[in-house]
Amino acid sequence: MRATLMYGAGDVRVETVPDARLIEPTDALVTITRSCICGSDLWPYKNMKPNDGGRRMGHEFIGLVDAVGRDVRTVKRGDLVVAPFMWSDGTCVFCHEGLQTSCLHGGGWGSPDVDGGQGEAVRVPQADGTLVVLPVGRDDALMPSLLTLSDVMGTGHHAALCAKVGPGRTAAVVGDGAVGLCGVIAARRLGAERVILLGRHPDRIALAREFGATDIVSERGEDAVERVLELTGGLGAHSVLECVGLEQSTLTAISITRPGGAVGRVGVPQDPSIPAARQSFFNNTTIAGGPAPVRAYIESLLPDVLEGKIQPGRVFDRVIDLDGVPDGYRAMNDRESIKVMIAL
Ligand SMILES: [Zn+2]
């Protein structure tokens, strides 16, 4: 079968790899129908040291179950399924707490022996705990929005929950990538009265407004902080969603949080420490967040997608086939595309 490998910064190739196959009795074999490139894939695309073996890429996908191991109960051959960006058993103490990203028997796609999502097929470990059956056909018009349940919509939702978004509160979203845009959807969905987006790209700003952003701040650094304070009567936002992961964006997020407010951070941190320790201490700022347990959120978000109440799939502005993946990375890295979908 064919799959995507990264050999170093800027070096993405689609190559023939060993066919995915069942190994454990708890596995499912899934033929991928839709996949995508993630903003987090761009970090290694910018920084990865060259390696000879290549790293299997991709952690967001929808596909058809081809076969299941003898212990699998909840999915069967022919089911269309969505996978979260990490796999989990659904039975351990953390899965029961809804924190499947800390599953004691879970892991990530593309790790040794587990395929990546940007390829033709995947061995899915712990299929019962991991996969969610979708009640639609493989080419349903909702496919883009359903695919966001793998990661970006669940991640935006996690940022909003960690930032304690609720009715009557003012939310601010730092970052206008796919996760930030889904964060706008999530903040409105949870009842935020105002949603301030911090972003600079006209196409993304336009989409954010359609998703419910009420104010846009395109300044950067201290100017951005000043502008948000102006918009909030000098107080700051109750709930701030940090959807980038850089030191500067985290500093901005903490600096625009109202005393007693919360920062929900879902951008993978690119620095070892969190800035503004004194400011967040003296403001009693809650700083929460981490990898989103999207497996837990699929069940609450899926009905809204099926009913058309939210349309997170609009973050996809380009569709490619597997051969187009290297150029898809380039397009996202060059900010030519917000998010690229791979149709197989
Ligand atoms: Zn578990």
Segment 268-299, tens digit of pLDDT: 998 999 999 999 999 999 999 999 999 999 99
88 CA from centroid of ligand 1 (Å): 5
Nearest residue to 64 via CA among 121, 110, 145: 121
Segment 92-151, tens digit of pLDDT: 999 999 999 999 999 999 987 899 999 999 999 999 999 999 999 999 999 999 999 999
Strand duo 257-265 + 286-289: pairing: parallel
Strand duo 170-174 + 194-198: pairing: parallel
Compute how many other C-beta atoms are within 10 angstroms of the C-beta atom of residue 140. Answer: 15
101 CA from centroid of ligand 1 (Å): 8
Distance CA(151)–CA(316), nearest Å, equals: 13
What residues are paired with 166 via a beta bridge? Answer: none
300 CA from centroid of ligand 1 (Å): 19
78 CA from centroid of ligand 1 (Å): 25
Segment 201-226, tens digit of pLDDT: 999 999 999 999 999 999 999 999 99
pTM for the whole thing?
0.97
pLDDT at 113: 83
Which residue blocks in 98-237 are alpha helix, DSSP H? Answer: 127-130, 143-147, 152-162, 178-189, 202-211, 221-231
DSSP, residue by residue, 216-252? EE---HHHHHHHHHHHTTTS-EEEEEE-S-SHHHHHH
Handedness of CA 56, 59, 60, 62 (dihedral sign): positive
Cβ 68 vs Cβ 29: under 8 Å = yes
3-state secondary structure 2-66: EEEEEEECCEEEEEECCCCCCCCCCCEEEEEEEEECCHHHHHHHHHCCCCCCCEECCCCEEEEEE
262 CA from centroid of ligand 1 (Å): 28
Kindly list the protein residues that place their beta carbon closer than 5 angstroms to ligand 1, a single-atom ion: 88-89, 92, 95, 103
182 CA from centroid of ligand 1 (Å): 26
pLDDT at 98: 97
pLDDT at 285: 98
Segment 179-189, tens digit of pLDDT: 999 999 999 99
Distance CA(301)–CA(137), nearest Å, equals: 19
118 CA from centroid of ligand 1 (Å): 24
pLDDT at 111: 84
pLDDT at 52: 85
* Cβ neighbours for 69, distance < 8 A, ≥ 6 positions apart: 22, 24, 25, 26, 27, 28, 127
